Structure 1
């Protein structure tokens, strides 16, 4: 679309930069390579990165699910939530990363408009379930360690209910574009699909949907994570101060502090670029931007299929021990120390 030239917007896509054409449909991301948006090398680099995310993310999350199925000792309430996280990450990896790998290699969305809607919905659903699972993990740790409800015991049934809750929330967040509140279209370099941040068409009311996602699916989970882990750190520091002579308590406090920092940073790396970009687009309509940089937030969110399990699963000594054992690499030595560490931390209560 040339500056100052009025053209009819196509129904299934929108390229948010000026293009030198009278017929925008002729440049459809469903029909021709989008070489007018970036060099071939950029597309191939993105394809390679998506291939890496697909292979590694699928392998780690499948291994997590297989370990939980094989080892009964992993079927605790916390690990049920981590299993739910692995399933959501696997959905993003298998649907989003694999599709993006093929489309970036082809330099356009070769699967057509219907597949774009399906991919956008499935990736958004998996992403929302993953995001809320991180908040549920923080909430569970707060309940178990800080004991705000006194002697309340967080059981596997509660964990399963929390997992169901994340999928209900995920459907609430990802379903509206399928029924007319916003829509799923190609984004960034037009090779992956997501909600329409760009247009101001009243038919789709995209701005209200963006604000809904930002508040309900970013600000609320982030606030939950910061509050719960903040309370956890305060509780552990008070316990460590009261038991200054206990080396194990001091060690537990240091380990949890490091893990909390890593978990919060991981969440922000996953979702802050996407949320920030969506808000910037909504509040700066008509401002030019490089579509290569517009693809980065989507790539970061899909990459969560790799670094979420690394943070939440591979740093879990019990999970890591079982994975190494399943792969024939031993790993049984950590079990006793893991159990002792978990017991030490779980006994910490508010002063």
Structure 2
């Protein structure tokens, strides 16, 4: 495949003014101490283990208890599935690569990790956009008294996966590529190339897979907050009647904030690397946003459980019945 040839023929850390070229598939970067890689591997082991356990628990609990099988929870489970798969593929491969200090598994593993983390990460972001839009539909009722049903959630989930796949598969087919990062133990879209083929993809990718879902989130919650403020000022009794909806809305808002805190540094770094491909960045500094973004998979299950009174009630009742 073209992407394999691209990976094999370029070194992201090679300096055009220097004679040596570094091959991240055969040995570690000399400027980084071995214990740095082992530290990152330990962090990735903890993050990956927690993420796999937490997201699997959310999936199993939601499917086990009928009370939790509601449209909004379908989307949250979809978010957990995406986070679980990010950790299963990207987290595991990143952990193994950091144990060695370089991508000893070869090109195919690099492409797999780059595609998986990008694909499932975009599924997660679009799932949050879907949750925001669902909150807007339920509370603001722009289409009258139409009730959100399971089939609507299923259609939204199908759109999220299809759309995300359409925009993350091109680098495996020749439009840009997935390649090693500056530290050499994780893979991602080729932000660093100044070639038109790569920059055109990155611009299209960021527009459709980051800016658009972010706008959906901002517009949906902007409208929603206006509605809640209006209801609060004019009809206090309606605010009380919609208390469960407000609780779910707060939970979703916290999920979105946590996701953006984790992914925004990586997004900013990627935009910077794309806009200024010749910029010299320290590998340690360049690696932090990519690894930090993977911690987002840990927070959503915690937020979902501890800010969802329905889930806490179901778990409490089930534990009492077991005792």
TM > 0.5 fold call? yes
The one of 286, 292, 306 aligned to 1:294: 286
The CA deviation at 1:123 is: 1.4
Helix, strand or coil at the partner of 1:194: strand
Q: Which has the higher helix share?
A: 2
Q: How large is the Cα RMSD of the aligned pairs?
A: 2.6
**Superposed CA offset, 1:61-107 (max 9, x none):** 00011112211111111111111111100000111111111111211
- Evaluate the alpha carbon distance shift between residue 212 and residue 128 of structure 1 in structure 2; reply closer, same or farther with a 3 A threshold: same
Q: 1:172 — aligned with what?
A: 166
- Evaluate the alpha carbon distance shift between residue 153 and residue 194 of structure 1 in structure 2; reply closer, same or farther with a 3 A threshold: same
Structure 2: segments with no counterpart, 5+ residues: 1-5
1:140-179 aligned within 5 A: 140-179=134-173
What is the rounded CA distance, in whole Å, between the counterparts of 2:79 and 2:220 in structure 1?
A: 18
Structure 1: segments with no counterpart, 5+ residues: 1-8, 333-351
**Superposed CA offset, 1:218-272 (max 9, x none):** 1111111111112111211211222347884697798578546534422321321
1:195 and 2:189 correspond: yes
- Evaluate the alpha carbon distance shift between residue 321 and residue 298 of structure 1 in structure 2; reply closer, same or farther with a 3 A threshold: farther
What is the rounded CA distance, in whole Å, between the counterparts of 2:277 and 2:89 in structure 1?
A: 30
What is the rounded CA distance, in whole Å, between the counterparts of 2:312 and 2:182 in structure 1?
A: 37
Instruction: Kindly indicate whether the alpha-carbon contact (under 8 Å) linking 1:274 and 1:301 is maintained by their aligned counterparts in 2.
Output: yes
Q: 1:74 — aligned with what?
A: 68
- Evaluate the alpha carbon distance shift between residue 322 and residue 108 of structure 1 in structure 2; reply closer, same or farther with a 3 A threshold: farther
What is the rounded CA distance, in whole Å, between the counterparts of 1:304 and 1:314 in structure 2?
A: 16
**Superposed CA offset, 1:312-339 (max 9, x none):** 454222233445566x4x599xxxxxxx
What is the rounded CA distance, in whole Å, between the counterparts of 2:249 and 2:151 in structure 1?
A: 28
The CA deviation at 1:150 is: 0.6
What is the rounded CA distance, in whole Å, between the counterparts of 2:321 and 2:286 in structure 1?
A: 42
1:206 and 2:198 correspond: yes
What is the rounded CA distance, in whole Å, between the counterparts of 1:116 and 1:106 in structure 2?
A: 14
- Evaluate the alpha carbon distance shift between residue 263 and residue 83 of structure 1 in structure 2; reply closer, same or farther with a 3 A threshold: closer
Count of aligned pairs between the two proteins: 317
The one of 221, 227, 231 aligned to 2:213: 221
Q: 2:296 — aligned with what?
A: 304
The one of 11, 16, 26 aligned to 2:13: 16
